[in-house]
Amino acid sequence: KRDQDDLEKLRLAIEELDSKSTEIKNFTDLPLCEATTSGLRASHFEVLTDIQARAIPLALKGRDILGAAKTGSGKTLAFLIPMLEKLYREQWTEFDGLGALIISPTRELAVQIFEVLRKIGRNHTFSAGLVIGGKSLKDEAERLGRMNILVCTPGRMLQHLDQTAGFDVTNLQLLVLDEADRIMDMGFQTAVDALIEHLPKSRQTLLFSATQTKTVSDLARLSLKDPEYVAVHEEA
């Protein structure tokens, strides 16, 4: 009962959150659950970066986001925090299957995202895994069914969606396309298109990129629904 009251409070606080507010400076100013707040504190994250301050409130409210900000501006937390919060508010458990999928252009970047997730998500109970190849398809496939969150590279993920029997993504709540410009530069357009075809349409999608290019807006058009456009430019 107490849990339900807390969840209700959290949902209300998000509804009432002004996504344009300039009052949101610290992570403690955001309506986040205790597990996320304590994970951020333990990881020594305190003040939001610009892209985080602009994107996180909108993403918490369930909007699709097209976010552009240069490398090093903190885009990882801009999608990991709303992702953890969405699954938390949905009271996601091991029985609910895959809730969130993060697509990254390279293995190295996927591993980096996974490491940040392990740090800030340490007080959550979700299961999370990497799908980046390097192991046999069969070994990976056996773990897939138990995962709530996956960080993947496009080709490998598509392989599982096409070939791994019983791998069910129909519950997916959130899709993240990280470093979308690099995903496109590296020639993953067809793989990502095919991947998205497998996913439920009722999901939330967050797309982040270091640059705004034509190929990124093409990808955004295919994957996002009425996106909020969030660009952070360097001060001249």
CB of 106 to ligand ADP, least distance (A): 13
DSSP 3-state percent helix, strand, coil across the chain (nearest 5): 50, 15, 40
Q: Cβ closer to ligand ADP: 103 or 158?
A: 103
Residue 173 binds ligand ADP (CB under 6 A)? no
For Mg ion, what does the binding mask look like between residues 30 and 69, x meaning CB under 5 A? ----------------------------------------
CB of 233 to Mg ion, least distance (A): 17
Is residue 50 within 8 Å of residue 70, measured between CB atoms?
Answer: no
Residue 75 binds Mg ion (CB under 5 A)? yes
Residue 110 binds Mg ion (CB under 5 A)? no
Q: 3-state DSSP call for residue 28?
A: helix
| 52, 131, 139, 205, 207 from 135: Cα distances, Å | 34, 9, 7, 28, 28
d(CA 151, CA 117): 10
The amino acid sitting at 214 is K
Burial 46-69 (b: 16+ CB within 10 A, else e): eebbebbbbbbbbbbeebbbbbbb
d(CA 162, CA 148): 19
Choices 67-75, 124-132, 142-150, 183-191; region in contact with ligand ADP by CB under 6 A = 67-75
Choices 45-53, 57-65, 85-93, 154-162; region in contact with ligand ADP by CB under 6 A = 45-53
Residue 126 interacts with which of Mg ion, ligand ADP, none, CB < 5 to 8 Å by class: none
Residue 47 interacts with which of Mg ion, ligand ADP, none, CB < 5 to 8 Å by class: ligand ADP
Is residue 228 within 8 Å of residue 60, measured between CB atoms?
Answer: no
Residue 49 interacts with which of ligand ADP, Mg ion, none, CB < 5 to 8 Å by class: ligand ADP
Residue 49 binds ligand ADP (CB under 6 A)? yes
d(CA 43, CA 36): 10
Residue 160 binds Mg ion (CB under 5 A)? no
The amino acid sitting at 152 is C
Choices 4-12, 30-38, 72-80, 217-225; region in contact with Mg ion by CB under 5 A = 72-80
Give which of 87, 118, 115 is closest to 101, Cα–Cα.
87
Residues near ligand ADP (CB under 6 A) are 45, 47-49, 52, 69, 71-77
